[in-house]
Amino acid sequence: MKSFDAIVIGAGQAGPFLAARMVEKGMKVALIERKFLGGTCVNAGCMPTKTLVASARAAHVARNGATYGVNIPGEIAIDMKVVRARAETVTMNARNGLIGWFAGMDGMTVIYGHARFEDLKTVSVNGETLTAPRIFLNVGARPVIPDLPGINDIDYLTSTSIIDLDSLPRHLAVIGGSYIGLEFAQMYRRFGAEVSVIEHGPKLASREDEDISDAIADVLRSEGIDIHTGASEIAFSKSSDGITVATDSARIDASHVLIATGRKPNTDDLGLDAAGVITDGRGFITVDDKLATNVDGIWALGDCNGHGAFTHTSYNDFEIAAANLLDSDDRKLSSRILAYALYIDPPLGRVGMTEKQARASGHKILISTRPMSRVGRANERGETKGFMKVIADAETKKILGAAILGIEGDEVIHGIIDAMNAGTTYPALQWSVPIHPTVSELIPTLLGDLKPV
């Protein structure tokens, strides 16, 4: 049996950085990863997909160059092999950077293999047994495959496997109208494929307010994406030239099907029962406000604890754990203000409560909206789709939440994120002097238009 000061299982966006901090403190650490360093973000998430999004936007801009007085003769051709290779290069550069970083650390042992608990202080991997007084789980999540009629009779894609495509689908049917599915839908439409989005629920991006969901649908429809919501029945069958996707109201002749119906935690094969670690009904590991499980000496970080399925929330889990365990600090999960983005074009930046949540919370609320068509930068760039929205508490003057669907919305939202984390009231932010011409300069104006509802 090999002994360590700490064992980290999973090399996503929390575990490796925590392992590195512990090594800096002179600890002996084992980092166990069953496949690739970097987790979903580096290998099948943010980095490759946003690289693909950038290629798709380049095609879209080139295709619409004449609007700006830039005439490109002939059709815009897409070389999917080059597109895929570019995404793979970005991934490999990041992955190899982590490999090199860890190789230079005395006290760090990287083990590739599938770890399982033998008891609350012991794990086995590759036939070896390891023990440590502290064990951290950062095992991530994977795509959910729903039990739909005919799904096992077809070759379908997931958000992981579609990244490896090096040819253009004739018609891509996306099952699931949430964040991952919508990004791939717009991306492949811009590459030149016909695209249909099929969503079981009544609207796209169901987490969002209805006005945001409607605006997202308008953006996608304007680019020729076919959207089917309220699809209560979905079934698949092979056809002579591809796959038939049948719903209760439509029949789609697709060449490829992407299943984008959510993700589930990678906790079902860790032997958690042997350690006595509790999970909820969906398989997420139950943690307290400091990310500790019910078992002393075991923590869960990142997607597998159900408190944020984002790279930045996973990294924040590392920060919370490191601060509390290594820096004698007192940081809590409940202090986190959730923010995220949807990377369609234009992007959606979101923070805090939706309007629906704010109304249900009992706050006396103020709301302000402003169309992007009234933003100078948006008009100058010829990208006026979407709108800004902010929600505030009428009594405390604190901002409760905001949504910016529009040009640079994923960046502009950070002004609101920073204000909310600093506890700044909206009147104070209203009197800032932003730079012109930017999208962010409209935030004080947006706040100045807050009205009771």
CB 155, CB 132: distance < 8 Å = no
Active site residue 436: yes
Query: Which structure tokens are listed for 202?
Result: 């009544």
**Parallel/antiparallel/unpaired status of strands 387-393 and 399-405:** antiparallel
Query: Which structure tokens are listed for 122?
Result: 């012991």
CB 341, CB 409: distance < 8 Å = yes
- Annotated active-site residue in 114, 307, 363, 436: 436
How many other β-carbons are positioned within 10 Å of the β-carbon of residue 427?
A: 12
Kind plus residue range of the DSSP H or E element containing 447: helix 442-448
- The string of DSSP letters for 264-331 reads EES-TTS-HHHHT--B-TTSPBP--TTSB-SSTTEEE-GGGGTS--SHHHHHHHHHHHHHHHHS----
Q: How far is CA 143 from CA 1, 159, 266, 279, in A?
A: 35, 7, 10, 19
Task: Give, in degrees to the nearest 5, the angle at Cα 282 between 280 and 286.
Answer: 30
Residue 431, classified by CB atoms within 10 Å of its CB into exposed (0-12), middle (13-18) or buried (19+), is: exposed
Q: Residue 16: which of 167, 138, 124 has the closest Cα? A: 138
| 3-state SS class at 124 | strand
* CA pair distance 320, 14, nearest whole angstrom: 10
Beta bridge partners of 116: 124
**N-term to C-term CA, the chain:** 64
**Residue at token pair 């789609």:** 252
| 3-state SS class at 133 | coil
* CA pair distance 154, 163, nearest whole angstrom: 18
**Catalytic residue numbers, as ranges:** 436
